[in-house]
Amino acid sequence: MVFKLNNHLLSSIASSNGHGEDSPYFEGWKAYDSNPHHPTENPNGVIQMGLAENQLCFDLIQDWLKNNPKASICTPEGVNEFREVAIFQDYHGLPEFRNAVAKFMEKVRGNKVTFDPDRIVMNGGATGAHETIAFCLADPGEAFLVPTPYYPGFDRDLRWRTGVKLIPVDSESSNNFKVTREALENAYEMAKLGNIKVKGLLITNPSNPLGTMLDRETLRSIVSFINEKNIHLVCDEIYAATVFSQPDFISIAEILQEDIECNLDLVHIVYSLSKDMGFPGLRVGIIYSYNDAVVSCARKMSSFGLVSSQTQHMIASMLSDDEFVGKFIRKSKRRLAARHRIFTYGLAQVSIKCLTTSNAGLFLWMDLSGLLEEKTFEAEMALWRVIIHEVKLNVSPGCSFHCTEPGWFRVCFANMDDQTMQVALSRIRTFVNKDVDTKKPKKTLRWQGSLKLNSPRIYDDFINSPHSPIPQSPLVRART
């Protein structure tokens, strides 16, 4: 006899939709999973362009592993370390691991700042790090301000199990989605009017999905804002090493070294190796806090999501190799720059524009507003479904990033080989040219009416997961 478990027997978390798997973000993944593109076995399948993964430098990693077999306890050369590493369970982390990560974080930031290894707290990826910091800083019902557009996974990471709220800080394309003091003040005041206590501000720098960086003036303004309001600042810097052209990346740690008034206890950095090194599967997430109490609490909480000691052992060895790290960072930047250049050129050939201030990340923020039947999010969803089901490209619609303007899409370009990228660009050209050839009015697309839409809704609860191998395609331009 088979028994079915009713939802009323489950906890509120288990029976809720807090993870957001029914969002367009995950719907696109499901379309890819059910019909994945393969160059020979399934050439007409869906190309994954919804996952921000860096697969452009795996050859460098593989060469290093071949030349350093002792880094793994699962090789004849490294087996003598197996016992000590396998039984290690200190949630502070291997000292050599924390030292190597701190040193790597410094190198990625141009050695302009220093990091104390004793403030390094490990977590199971940036997802675990964000949830841990939310638990440390806010109680259920309290809130973080988050500039839009923002990574959909934040809705899951910071809200689902913690009960914390996220309040959007709106930005506009007219100023390239720049974070302004006025917008911060407006969002803060709106929260107060709603009797919501704001505990902090979460920023991503470089931005996901924009692929842009916060300049020094904006960072200083943000520090001034959180200091005046006496709220926390959480800086997601997981794309720090993906900056591939000028200007250089400016970390919040660099701002704190300047002559600026700020209570350091309010500032915290989230980092990982998922994007900069391309290791999402290793689940290496980092919290770096200037607050002793947060470091202590986060370290205790990390017991629920530790990085395996074997991973710590290997990462410590790899990141301690200065020659390799320097070579990797240089080549990664060059390859990202080249891929970005080729992809944006391919889009420009069919008059598709992307955010021009982008110089970082693994994606493009692509403007397809000209292809919308009307300037609405319903029309954006209609176009998105055509792109997925007919053009066979999984790109992510702007509404899932809480963008306030319809027609923007995030396109990931670093998770595929050159051949797949060219296939994606070819599909885009065919789609756009086909529409032009119809010679119909611009707002009467030939696919109009071919799809049924769900009832209109605002996608405030969209949640994106950060891990999924997506091949690059031409409709991808975005940036956590």
CA dihedral 79, 83, 86, 87 (to 10 degrees): -170
297 CB neighbour count, 10 Å cutoff? 18
Helices H / strands E in the chain, number of each: 15, 13
Angstrom distance (rounded) from CA 388 to CA 26: 12
Is-catalytic flag, 275?
yes
Marked catalytic residue, from 25, 32, 150, 151: 151
Q: What is the pLDDT of residues 199-235, one digit of tens each?
A: 999 999 999 999 999 999 999 999 999 999 999 999 9
User: Is 338:331 a contact under the CB 8 Å cutoff?
Assistant: no
- Helical (H) or strand (E) element with 393: strand 393-394
Region 25-42 average pLDDT? 86
Query: pLDDT value at position 6?
Result: 65
Q: Does residue 292 carry a pLDDT above 70?
A: yes
Cα separation, 203 vs 149, in Å, equals 11
Catalytic residue flag (residue 25) = no
Q: What average pLDDT score do residues 75-90 get?
A: 81
pLDDT at 366: 96
**Domains of the chain as residue ranges with CATH:** 24-58+326-434 (3.90.1150.10), 69-320 (3.40.640.10)
User: pTM for this structure?
Assistant: 0.87
Which positions ≥6 away from 357 have C-beta within 8 Å? 176, 210, 212
Q: What percent of the chain has pLDDT over 90?
A: 74
Catalytic residue among 155, 157, 236, 461: 236
For residues 412-423, b (16+ Cβ closer than 10 Å) or e, as one string?
A: bbbbbeeebbbb
Report the pLDDT averaged over residues 148-177: 94
Q: What is the mean pLDDT of residues 400-426?
A: 95
Q: Which of 120, 203, 238, 463 is catalytic?
A: 238
- Whether 151 is catalytic is yes
Rg, the chain, Cα only = 22
**How far is Cα 18 from Cα 385, in angstroms, rounded to an integer?**
23
- With b for 16 or more beta-carbon neighbours within 10 A and e for fewer, the 136-170 pattern comes to bbbeeebbbbbbbbbbbbbbbbbbbbbbbbbbbbb
pLDDT at 474 over 60: no
Question: What six digits make up the tokens of 306?
Answer: 């530790």
The chain-wide mean pLDDT, for the chain, equals: 87
Residue 235 structure tokens: 């800086």
> Residue 186, Cβ neighbours under 10 Å: how many?
13
Tokens of 442: 């611009």
* Identified catalytic residue from 120, 275, 286, 315: 275
Q: Could you tell me where the DSSP H helices lie in 375-417?
A: 377-389
Q: What is the pLDDT of residues 362-374, one digit of tens each?
A: 999 999 999 999 9
445 has a pLDDT exceeding 50: no
Task: Say if CB 461 and CB 23 are below 8 A apart.
Answer: yes
Strand 267-272 and strand 232-236: the pairing is: parallel
Q: What is the pLDDT of residues 314-347, one digit of tens each?
A: 999 999 999 999 999 999 999 999 999 999 999 9
State the average pLDDT over residues 463-471: 33
Residue the block writes with tokens 């291997």 = 94
pLDDT at 449: 33
| Annotated catalytic residue 238 | yes
| Per-residue model confidence (pLDDT) at position 447 | 38
What span, in angstroms and rounded, lies between the C-alpha atoms of 114 and 108?
11
* pLDDT score of 2: 56
Amino acid at 134: A
Q: Which of helix, strand or coil describes residue 83?
A: helix
- At residue 1 the predicted structure's pLDDT band, cuts being 50, 70 and 90, is low
Least confident range of 185-194, 253-262, 443-452: 443-452
3-state SS, one letter per residue, for 317-368: HHHCCHHHHHHHHHHHHHHHHHHHHHHHHHHHCCCCEECCCCCCCCEEEEEC
Residue 454's pLDDT is 32
Contact 271, 237 (CB under 8 A): yes
Mean predicted confidence (pLDDT) in 424-428? 95
pLDDT at 21 over 80: no
